[in-house]
Amino acid sequence: MPSAHPSPAPAAPLHPSDAPASEALFARARRVVPGGVNSPVRAFRSVGGTPRFVTSARGAYLTDADGREYVDLIGSWGPMILGHTHPDVLRAVTEAAGRGFSYGTPSENEIALAEEIVARIEPVEQVRLVSSGTEATMSALRLARGITGRSRVVKFAGCYHGHVDALLAAAGSGVATFGLPDSAGVPQSAAAETIVLPYNDIEALEAAFAADGEHIAAVITEAAPGNMGVVPPLPGFTEALRRITRAHGALLISDEVMTGFRCSRAGWYGLEGPYDSGAPDLFTFGKVMGGGFPAAAFGGSAAHMAYLAPDGPVYQAGTLSGNPVATAAGLATLRGCTDDVYSHLTTTAHTIADAAAAELTKAGVPHTIQWAGSMFSIFLTEGPVTNYDQAKTTSSPAYAAFFHSMLDQGVHLPPSAYEAWFVSAAHDDAALDRVVEALPEAARAASESFATIAP
């Protein structure tokens, strides 16, 4: 007699690239969220396939809705420097949440987080807390314009500073061009005050200042760019930025949202500074300093920061700025970033990068690995890569093949060829073994992709 509840056929083993639960969630998401995601790169557009919907994350691992586990090399794009759900951070967050979620009045943790930052980066005497890196750069730009009374701003092609209207202009390379907006919805007028220059090109900067110096409020740069892949400043470039801006009365804004507290205790500044020509005027921070919660900051000398409301005329505010749960997470994360953690990040990153280089070489795949402290990225092109035009010669199809092979083998890389790979204090030998074991197959997949697209 047939049972009313026949036992299901034994589940067919999932092929590694199947992700039925994520597919269903993605379809559901696309009905109510544009493109199914809340930040475009998560949609896997440049690598194809279905983004994995994560249900939990612990240590070095992500678990997706299909119950599959991945070694995570995204690290939430930087913040998870101690690994996911680190016990000290979890405790700090839980305790803070138990005392209230948001006060709308000042609280002591805001001071403690500011003190932690100020103690690390010598030129930063004061910081204002905000909730995202975008807010930090937007506010730093307004402050620089308020201080100087000038309107124009110089940025470098390939540098990302969040989705601030004036900074989305990245078009134009090789020569100084007035920015054309990269995004619909950014009026020409917002980008018209933005001068986009090729990165690492001192002559282009000198020419821009010779032509327009008295109108330029600031140069904003990623301290060591990580958003076109990792493209560190050539020796002398940061010094030149400082020298030229100072000579023309413009400010230098160092965007350390990605590199801050990642490259070293004091970010990229801690590795490359102090500079003979002087320190940047303003710094922006985010990612690591929020420990996975929305917290970011911008800072500089007390004299410059005094231009901000309520002391000064430059208005800036935020309902959730200095949020008690976010500041608790950030504080616990920064305090957890010991010298041991930084040396572990370096060793771990080099283990992965060395193994990747060996396998790519064996498979005959052109590649260049570039570094900013323990932050690295792998360009699938002959290097070196010193600017955005060169970065764009990386092979996106080969990266997509490499990415999917790694994903099938349980390693989640950033779903874009232009991103740094992020390791954490929780990436132990077991996690590294899984990455290293997956690399030969992934290198072969990249090599086949090169063969297919070769002329």
Ligand X SMILES: *Cc1c(COP(=O)(O)O)cnc(C)c1O
Task: Report, in Å, the least distance between residue 410 CB and ligand X.
Answer: 26
Q: Which is nearer to ligand X, 286 or 292 (CB)?
A: 286
Task: Report, in Å, the least distance between residue 263 CB and ligand X.
Answer: 12
* Catalytic residue numbers, as ranges: 160, 255, 287
The answer to whether 230 touches 420, Cβ cutoff 8 Å, is: yes
Task: Report, in Å, the least distance between residue 14 CB and ligand X.
Answer: 33
Task: Report, in Å, the least distance between residue 42 CB and ligand X.
Answer: 12
Compose the 207-236 pattern: x for residues touching ligand X by CB under 6 A, - for all others: ---------------x----x---------
Determine the angle formed by the axes of helices 429-453 and 396-408, rounding to 10 degrees: 140
**The one-letter amino acid at 329:** A
**Chain residues 41-80 in contact with ligand X, contact rule CB under 6 A:** none
By the rule CB under 6 A, 449 interacts with ligand X: no
Question: Considering just the CA atoms, what is the radius of gyration of the chain in Å?
Answer: 23
Q: Pick the piece of the chain touching ligand X (CB under 6 A) from 91-99, 150-158, 253-261, 333-341.
A: 253-261
Residue 406, phi then psi, degrees to nearest 5: -65, -45
Q: Which is nearer to ligand X, 285 or 445 (CB)?
A: 285
Q: What is the DSSP string of 25-85?
A: HHHHHHHHSGGG-SSGGGG-TTT-SPPPPEEEEEBTEEEETTS-EEEESSGGGTT-TT-BT
Nearest to 423 by CA among 86, 74, 89: 74
By the rule CB under 6 A, 268 interacts with ligand X: no
Measure the CA–CA gap between 55 and 168, rounded to whole angstroms.
32
- Within the chain, what is the greatest distance between any pair of CA atoms? 92
Q: Which is nearer to ligand X, 16 or 40 (CB)?
A: 40
Compose the 87-126 pattern: x for residues touching ligand X by CB under 6 A, - for all others: ----------------------------------------
By the rule CB under 6 A, 321 interacts with ligand X: no
Q: What is the DSSP string of 360-408?
A: HHHTT---EEEEETTEEEEESSSS---SHHHHTTS-HHHHHHHHHHHHH
Nearest to 266 by CA among 134, 118, 133: 118
By the rule CB under 6 A, 137 interacts with ligand X: yes
By the rule CB under 6 A, 26 interacts with ligand X: no
Helix (H) / strand (E) containing 148:
helix 133-148
Among 258, 363, 385, 446, indicate the residue that binds ligand X (CB under 6 A): 258
**Chain residues 273-302 in contact with ligand X, contact rule CB under 6 A:** 286, 296
Q: Which is nearer to ligand X, 51 or 133 (CB)?
A: 133
**The one-letter amino acid at 389:** D
Q: Pick the piece of the chain touching ligand X (CB under 6 A) from 52-60, 129-137, 169-177, 262-270.
A: 129-137
Measure the CA–CA gap between 82 and 72, rounded to whole angstroms.
12
Going 285 to 288 to 292 to 293, the CA torsion angle's sign is negative
Among 110, 116, 255, 419, indicate the residue that binds ligand X (CB under 6 A): 255
Helix (H) / strand (E) containing 168:
none
Among 170, 257, 295, 345, indicate the residue that binds ligand X (CB under 6 A): 257
**Chain residues 147-186 in contact with ligand X, contact rule CB under 6 A:** 160-162
Q: Pick the piece of the chain touching ligand X (CB under 6 A) from 128-136, 172-180, 231-239, 326-334.
A: 128-136
By the rule CB under 6 A, 134 interacts with ligand X: yes
Binding stretches for ligand X (CB under 6 A): 132-134, 137, 160-162, 222, 227, 255, 257-258, 286, 296
